[in-house]
Amino acid sequence: MSWRTPTETDLAAYLSQSEIDAFRKDAAMDGTDPVERILSLSAEYVRGYIRSSSVAMSPTAKEIPEGMIPALMAYITVKVLLRIDLIVNESRAKAYSDALELFKAVGDGDYKVDPYGTTSDIGGGSNPAIKVPNHILDDYPL
């Protein structure tokens, strides 16, 4: 899989539109879209872990391996819900915890992401951008 920038559409698979709208209203400041801001900051957070593993990075800021986007969305979901004072249910809390575990494992080099520029980034290849144990991916609510 390729590297790409996470989008609001990705986030909408994890949060309802009313939750996204409440976050947008609550976190709005100086004309900046808070949804775009949290997507950007969180992607850079994940890129820090990837950078720690010495993997070739996409030169485009905010791009991460597509296979890490579900974990990133689980992470952002909890951040958004806490900001708007909603209760984080058990499945979302578990997905958040698993996401942090995955980020750390990538940073430690225990889970490998395909370096940017491999054939999978230019439309070829069938290797996923990240190899993750099934127990982590199975816990993400869609």
Alpha carbon distance 80, 61 (integer Å): 22
Q: How confident is the model at residue 118 (pLDDT cuts 50, 70, 90)?
A: confident
Which sign, positive or negative, has the C-alpha torsion 52, 128, 136, 64?
Answer: positive
- The pLDDT value recorded for residue 128 is 43
Number of domains in the chain: 1
Within-domain flag for 142? no
Contact at 8 Å (CB) between 73 and 13? yes
76, 81, 64: which is closest to 36 by C-alpha? 76
| Host domain of residue 67 | 3-137
Within-domain flag for 124? yes
Within-domain flag for 118? yes
Q: Which is it for strands 64-65 and 3-4: parallel, antiparallel or unpaired?
A: antiparallel
Q: Vertex 43, ends 38 and 45: CA angle to 5°?
A: 95
* pTM summary value: 0.81
Determine the average pLDDT of the residues in 12-36: 91
